[in-house]
Structure formats: structure tokens, C-alpha cells
Amino acid sequence: NDIEKGTYSHFMLKEIDEQPFVMRKIINEYQTENNELKMDTGVRQAMNSCDRIYIIAAGTSYHAGLVGKEFIEKLANIPVEVHIASEFSYNTPLLSEKPLFIFISQSGETADSRAVLVKIKEMGHPALTITNVPGSTLSREADYTLNLYAGPEIAVASTKAYTAQIAVLAILAVDTAKTKGLSLDFDPMRELAIVANAMEVLTDQKEAIEDLARKYLRTARNAFFIGRSIDYHVCLEAALKLKEISYIQAEGFAGGELKHGTIALIEEGTPVIALATQKNVNYSIRGNVQEVVARGANDMVISMKGLEQDTDAFVIPHVHELLTPLVSVVPLQLLSYYAALHRDCDVDKPRNLAKSVTVE
């Protein structure tokens, strides 16, 4: 492998740190000299002629797809379904008249995603692959490809590919909205530049996050991540990250679902990490935090500037409310990293996991 860790002890930490640069690279690659959005005309046509989008992915890429759905529905006004690749074959939904399939895959080699691609191509439907590996199978076999420009990702736990996927999905959604003539009060490149700076602020705060990992997770048996709205999607990703590399049993939940079961698991000292980056649900998620604290939970609130409260464990810089996943995920990636490190786990090569799953 000719990719070097340099001064880093692990690829994962290096890749977390690369995220601001990846954001800037994406801004450059998806912009013309006249500062207009640069988008493949085939992709533009496909986005404009479909009546529904089916996002197919696995693992972390699936979690990016959940965020992408919000962008495409809210900005471009196209209905979106997000499906786990391995389930799609059995639970194939009723398709719309003019479906467009979007495959999100860091490696472009995930067998379950490829199986769906083969199937829908047989049915004659168009496919777009969003991948970090341009010549990959999913890229070659789809009609269109959008590149992530994240550079090789070596650590098994995906970090910079996730944020790159979300950024590219945001650009795709805005580009579609513009081609459709929808009026938007959202300049994606400007907002992504703000995100890049915010990411840099966060990667400079490693010590604070390492302290939190030590305090909350070093000896924890389990951990819960709660959030509402777009924060909920990030909670799923945060829980996956923690499971993958620290082997702590972790789950992400929608705040409102707590009382329907999960709250039964809260004991004295159970770590509950809550995300609070969305103004419209700030009050409700704070209510959920009080509910778990009343049952003994060790709460850690990660909020966004402007919505913070005195007792919050960590505050992320302010970014556009649609793009908060790009920023809120960074301390959560670092939290997993340091939790794994302090539990003596093999951060870059966790047990039982492969970087790319090429068997069904």
C-alpha cells in the first residue's frame, strides 16, 4: 500500500483530519470557472426526468443516503426512498413510472449494491453511482457517475467518504433545483466553505473530545445516541462508528421513540449522547435528555452554536441547518476513535470487518 500514515498513528485519524480538504476539493471540482455548479449533463437530465429516486447503499453509505434524501426532497422537490441494498431484492418496493436509482458506495464494489444494479438495469431503469473509486464496478455498470474526490480511504471505519457523499448529494440536490427553475435561498459552495472551516475548528479540538471519550466510554458496556430530524440520521452513523471500532454496543434512536422501548435500557451511568443542531426540535430533544437523566443516564449533549445550553458537553460551530451532519459527525467520529484507542482496540482494522464487502 503506497498510501502513508505520515505522522499519524492511524489512518482513521488522518482521514478524519482530511475532511476540510476534501470539502474544498469537492467545491473546486463541482464548480465552473464562472462559479456556477458543474454537473454532468446526463446526470442533470436523469434528475430532471425522473418522478422518484431510489437510493441504494450499505453501511455508512446508507446513512449518507438518509441525509441525501432530505436534501433532494427539500431542495429539489423529488420524492426519495432510501433502501438497504441487501434488503432491496426481497423487499422490492412498487416502483414509480420513471424511477432513477442512485447507488452510493465508497468502494463501488459492494456486492449487495451491485446485485440491485444488475436487477434494475435488466428492468431498463437508469442508474447513477456516487463513488470514491471512478473505475469501480458500480461506476462502470451504471449510466452515470459522480466522484467523491475524497482520496483513498484506508481505515475500515468510513469517515471522509461519508462527509464527501453528503456534500456531493447537497450539490446534486441544488443543481437539480436550479435546472428545474426552483428558487433557492441556499448557495451550496458558500455553505460548504463554511462547513470546511468548521470542520477544521473541530479537528483542532481533539483533546477535549478525547477527554469526553475517556470520561463516558472507556469502560462503558453500551451507549445510546439520540437525535431528532436530521440529527437522527447522524445518530445512526455515530452508533455504527462506535460499534465498529470500539465494540461497545451502541444504538442510534429517534428522540421520540425512546419512550416506546429504549428508555427501559437506561440505568445508572448509561452514556446517552444527544445531538442538538436543529432549532425546530431543540426543545423536544432537550426534553428527551431530561427523561434519560431522570433515570440515571450519563448525558453528553453535542449542540450547535446558537442552540447551546450551559450544561452541554460540546458545542460545534454554526453552519447551515441542512448541512449540520457534515459538522456534527466530526466530534462523533473522534469520540469513537478515542474510545477505541483507550480500550486498546485495533482502530484501523477492527475484528470481523472488511473495508469492502464483495460477497453477498
Least separation in angstroms between CB 235 and ligand G6P:
16
DSSP letter for 196, please: H
Are 48 and 180 in contact, with CB atoms under 8 Å apart? yes
Which residues make Cβ contacts (< 8 Å) with residue 288, sequence separation at least 6? 226, 228, 255, 256, 258, 274
Distance (Å, rounded) from C-alpha 60 to C-alpha 161? 9
| Closer to ligand G6P by Cβ: residue 15 or 299 | 15
CB of 190 to ligand G6P, least distance (A): 28
Nearer to ligand G6P, 123 or 353 (CB): 353
Cβ(42)–Cβ(143) under 8 Å?
A: yes
Interface residues with ligand G6P (CB under 6 A) are 58-61, 105-107, 110, 113, 156, 158, 353, 355-357
Handedness of CA 284, 286, 288, 294 (dihedral sign): negative
Distance CA(25)–CA(22), nearest Å, equals 5
d(CA 154, CA 355): 8
Nearest residue to ligand G6P, by Cβ distance, number only: 59
What DSSP string runs through 2-49? ----TT-S-HHHHHHHTHHHHHHHHHHHTB-TTSPBP--HHHHHHHHH
Find the shortest distance in angstroms from Cβ 108 to ligand G6P: 7
Rounded CA Rg of the chain: 20
Considering the complex, state which of residue 107 and residue 324 has its C-beta at the smaller distance from ligand G6P. 107
Measured from the CB atom, the residue of 108 and 255 that comes closer to ligand G6P is 108
Q: Give dist(CA 9, CA 240) in Å, integer.
A: 22
In whole angstroms, the minimum distance from the beta carbon of 24 to ligand G6P comes to 22
Give min distance, CB of 158 to ligand G6P, in A. 4
Q: Which is nearer to ligand G6P, 222 or 356 (CB)?
A: 356
Residue 355 designated active-site: yes
Give the helix ranges, DSSP H, for 222-273: 230-246
CA distance 54 to 61: 14
Nearer to ligand G6P, 255 or 350 (CB): 350
Residue 124 CB, nearest distance to ligand G6P (Å)?
A: 24
Active-site residue (options: 5, 119, 121, 355): 355
Q: For the chain, what's the residue count?
A: 360
- Catalytic center residues: 355
